[in-house]
């Protein structure tokens, strides 16, 4: 049993979907579970629908755009479009009625019910296409597989129930191929709960772990895991293999090639993760597994849209553990993740993602006790496994606001120019 995951970029057009079908065809001899994202940029569009709805602005135009995009894709993909168009109509109606029926609900709950529709629609269209292409393929609702708590937009997985549900689905499915959705599960009341943006990689890992799969492959628009983003550093190279820990740390520092939560469930079950190019499947890609690699190249990660927050004590004392604990409690209560931190005699500074609402709420809390300063439009550059040359290059960057190094990583926070 293998698991494949295709993201929005692999499903953005009729041509790329045909390419996905041809990749699947080459792996027909092993039982396969395929996890799909919403097509193209549909998730962003659905987010705009929800945002407009909640602000009592026009959301119909954006729904119409989503309709037109899928309609065109269907017309290019199917010879007989009738069934696929009926699937599209049904989902567009469901988006409208979910919004209208949920006027008084929690905003995050409305978000999850509507935004997840992109994946449901995508999986049903792909399922239909694969059947027409002659595959024997079953469709599974991920909400019957992945059980979460009821924290909308960032559901936490109940591993025990999830494993049981996936095991049951595996037993009951006669087809050797299954298609299901990424990004979502359901809580105990069977309400849709999403796992956070870009969460489909994580879904695929959860499913692979539940199935005790032989391997999982995430098909991407890059040739594998690289030591830097090739758009920033054209000389970036692909790693043929990486240990789980190394890949997990790269995602922690902000490497966006795979979702940070993907590695753990796979490492615990020793399931190898392949990252391969959907545009050129003949390329070897990267395998992340239990291995030792000596002399890894420096890995350079750019994390944009950062904010540097500094809390200064106001009463001529030095910053102490009690004050640090106040700061950490405020940060943790808002579910904020610290990317780097540093303290001096009278101040504590930390670098966090700039999500305006959260940062403002944090500042308000901290201002009761500290003088608070902050800078935005920053990029955090991490050089992991640095060598002399990369260490010097990044330390000497202009506009460095904060610098920190350990035995294995150098981090510099720079102002965007």
Count the site residues for Mg ion by CB under 5 A.
Answer: 3
Say how far apart CA 41 and CA 405 lie, in whole Å.
Answer: 37
298 binds, among ligand ASP, Mg ion, none (CB under 5 to 8 A by kind): none
Q: Using CB under 5 A, which of the segments 31-39, 54-62, 84-92, 325-333 binds Mg ion?
A: 31-39
Q: Using CB under 5 A, which of the segments 29-37, 64-72, 87-95, 226-234 binds Mg ion?
A: 29-37
Closer to Mg ion at the Cβ: 33 or 348? 33
Tell me which residues in 75-114 interact with Mg ion (CB under 5 A): none
- Helix, strand, coil tally for the chain in percent (to 5): 40, 25, 35
Tokens of 361: 């709420």
What's the min distance (Å) between Cβ of 311 and ligand ASP? 33
Residues lying near ligand ASP in the complex (CB under 6 A) are found at 7-8, 37-38, 43, 118, 182-183, 197-200
199 binds, among Mg ion, ligand ASP, none (CB under 5 to 8 A by kind): ligand ASP
Burial 149-188 (b: 16+ CB within 10 A, else e): eeebbbbebbeeebbebbeebbeeeeebbbbbbbbbbbbe
Q: Answer for the pair 288, 273: CB distance below 8 angstroms, yes or no.
A: yes
38 binds, among Mg ion, ligand ASP, none (CB under 5 to 8 A by kind): ligand ASP
Closer to ligand ASP at the Cβ: 118 or 298? 118
Phi, then psi, of 68 in degrees rounded to 5:
-60, -40
Q: What ranges make up the beta strands (E) of 265-394? A: 273-277, 286-289, 299-312, 338-343, 347-353, 371-384
Say how far apart CA 216 and CA 205 lie, in whole Å.
Answer: 7
Q: Using CB under 5 A, which of the segments 36-44, 243-251, 319-327, 399-407 binds Mg ion?
A: 36-44
What's the min distance (Å) between Cβ of 42 and ligand ASP? 7
What's the min distance (Å) between Cβ of 51 and ligand ASP? 15
Closer to Mg ion at the Cβ: 6 or 239? 6
Closer to Mg ion at the Cβ: 7 or 210? 7
243's enclosing H/E stretch is strand 241-243
What's the min distance (Å) between Cβ of 7 and ligand ASP? 5
Say how far apart CA 160 and CA 298 lie, in whole Å.
Answer: 38
DSSP string across 68-85: HHHHHHHHHH-SS-HHHH
Q: How many CB atoms lie within 10 A of CB 254?
A: 19
| Shortest-Cβ-distance residue relative to Mg ion | 7
Closer to Mg ion at the Cβ: 39 or 331? 39
What's the min distance (Å) between Cβ of 40 and ligand ASP? 10
Closer to ligand ASP at the Cβ: 41 or 395? 41
What's the min distance (Å) between Cβ of 101 and ligand ASP? 23
| Nearest residue to 142 via CA among 231, 233, 40, 33 | 33
DSSP string across 329-341: HHHHHTT--EEEE
Asked if 7 interacts with Mg ion (CB under 5 A), we say: yes
Closer to ligand ASP at the Cβ: 118 or 265? 118
What's the min distance (Å) between Cβ of 217 and ligand ASP? 15
Closer to ligand ASP at the Cβ: 195 or 402? 195
Q: Is 273 helix (H, G, I), strand (E, B) or coil?
A: strand
Tokens of 29: 């001899």
Q: What ranges make up the beta strands (E) of 51-168? A: 138-139
What's the min distance (Å) between Cβ of 108 and ligand ASP? 15
What's the min distance (Å) between Cβ of 185 and ligand ASP? 13
155 binds, among Mg ion, ligand ASP, none (CB under 5 to 8 A by kind): none
User: Can you give the binding site for Mg ion, defined by CB under 5 A?
Assistant: 7-8, 37
């Amino acid at each position: 049993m293998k698991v494949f995951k295709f993201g929005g970029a692999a499903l953005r057009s009729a041509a790329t979907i045909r390419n996905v079908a041809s990749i699947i065809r080459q792996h027909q001899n092993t039982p396969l579970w395929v996890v799909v994202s919403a097509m193209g940029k549909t998730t962003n569009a659905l987010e705009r629908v929800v945002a407009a709805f909640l602000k009592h602005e026009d959301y119909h135009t954006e729904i119409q755009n989503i309709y037109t995009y899928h309609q065109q894709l269907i017309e290019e993909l199917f010879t007989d479009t009738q069934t696929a168009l009926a699937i599209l109509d049904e989902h567009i109606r469901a988006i409208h009625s979910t919004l209208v029926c949920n006027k008084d609900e929690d905003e995050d709950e409305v978000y999850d019910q509507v935004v997840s529709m992109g994946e449901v629609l995508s999986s049903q269209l792909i399922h239909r296409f694969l059947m027409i292409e002659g595959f024997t393929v079953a469709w599974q609702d991920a909400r019957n597989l992945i059980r979460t708590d009821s924290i909308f937009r960032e559901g936490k997985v109940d591993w025990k129930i999830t494993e049981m549900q996936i095991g049951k689905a595996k037993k009951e499915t006669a087809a050797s191929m299954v298609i299901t959705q990424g990004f979502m599960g359901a809580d105990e009341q069977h309400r849709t709960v999403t796992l956070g943006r870009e969460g489909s990689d994580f879904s695929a890992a959860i499913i692979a772990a539940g199935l005790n799969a032989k391997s999982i492959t995430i098909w991407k628009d890059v040739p594998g895991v690289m030591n830097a983003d090739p758009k920033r550093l054209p000389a970036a190279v692909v790693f043929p293999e990486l240990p789980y820990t190394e890949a997990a740390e790269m995602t922690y520092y902000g490497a966006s090639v795979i979702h940070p939560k993907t590695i753990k469930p796979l490492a615990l079950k020793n399931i190898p993760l392949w990252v391969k190019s959907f545009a050129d499947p003949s390329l070897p890609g990267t395998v992340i597994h239990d291995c030792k690699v000596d002399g890894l190249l420096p890995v350079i990660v750019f994390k944009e849209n950062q904010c540097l927050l500094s809390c200064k004590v106001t009463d001529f004392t030095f910053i102490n553990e009690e004050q640090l604990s106040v700061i950490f409690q405020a940060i943790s209560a808002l579910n904020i993740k610290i990317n780097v931190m540093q303290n001096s005699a009278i101040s504590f500074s930390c670098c966090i993602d700039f999500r305006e609402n959260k940062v403002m709420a944090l500042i308000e809390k901290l201002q009761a006790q500290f003088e608070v300063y902050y800078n935005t439009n920053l990029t955090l550059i991490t050089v992991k496994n640095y060598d002399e040359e990369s260490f010097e290059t990044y330390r000497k960057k202009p506009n460095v606001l904060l610098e920190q190094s350990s035995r294995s990583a150098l981090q510099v926070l720079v102002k965007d120019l």
